[in-house]
Chains A and B, each alone.
Chain A
């Protein structure tokens, strides 16, 4: 899992039926100092409360779909938590 910053939302009316009801957010992946690192990804909101500006953590690959009510949705990144605080030694 990695840190990310929600930078936008995605709306898609035409989509594969399994994605009905899934909220998509654009997430800029971050390094551990919360600086942008790599390309933004489209992630499903697995906590239903994430929104633009928030620091989140994101799970990728097969486990992403398991954050959703239907674990067989075609989703490859999901927000699984909103970060309150990161403390580095």
Chain B
């Protein structure tokens, strides 16, 4: 998983059926210190995250399919947690 920060939302009417009714979040990938890496991903929301939240981003297909409860679905990136705190020892 990666750490991201929700930068915005993506609205799509015409999409693969698995995305129907799912909120898509555009997330900057950040370092553990919270600095933007310059990379981003569009991830489906599972936990009602919002703009500005630091989030955990899953980017792996079979785990994503497990979350959506489908064996075949073109979905990979999902926001699976809202980060409260990161402590780097």
Contact string, B2-45, partner A, CB cutoff 8 A, digits 1/0? 00000111111111100100001010100000000000111100
Chain A residues with CB under 8 Å of B9's CB are 86-87
Residues of chain A at interface, number, CB under 8 A: 30
Q: How many A-B residue contacts, CB cutoff 8 Å? A: 88
Chain A residues with CB under 8 Å of B19's CB are 80-81
Indicate whether B73 reaches chain A with its CB closer than 8 angstroms: yes
Contact string, A1-42, partner B, CB cutoff 8 A, digits 1/0? 111000000000000000000000000000110000000000
Known: A57-B10, A80-B19, A84-B11. A32 touches B43 (CB 8 A): no
Min CB distance A82 to B, Å, is 4
Known: A3-B42, A31-B40, A63-B74. A85 touches B10 (CB 8 A): yes
Residues of chain B at interface, number, CB under 8 A: 28
Known: A32-B8, A49-B14, A81-B14. A2 touches B41 (CB 8 A): yes
Q: In the complex, what distance in Å separates the CA atom of A80 from the CA atom of B64?
A: 15
Q: Which 10 A-B pairs have the closest CB atoms?
A: A81-B15, A67-B74, A88-B8, A81-B12, A1-B42, A80-B16, A63-B61, A85-B11, A89-B51, A82-B14
Besides A61-B76, A63-B73, A88-B8, 13 other CB < 8 A contacts? A2-B41, A32-B40, A57-B10, A63-B64, A63-B76, A67-B74, A78-B74, A80-B16, A81-B14, A81-B24, A84-B11, A86-B10, A89-B51
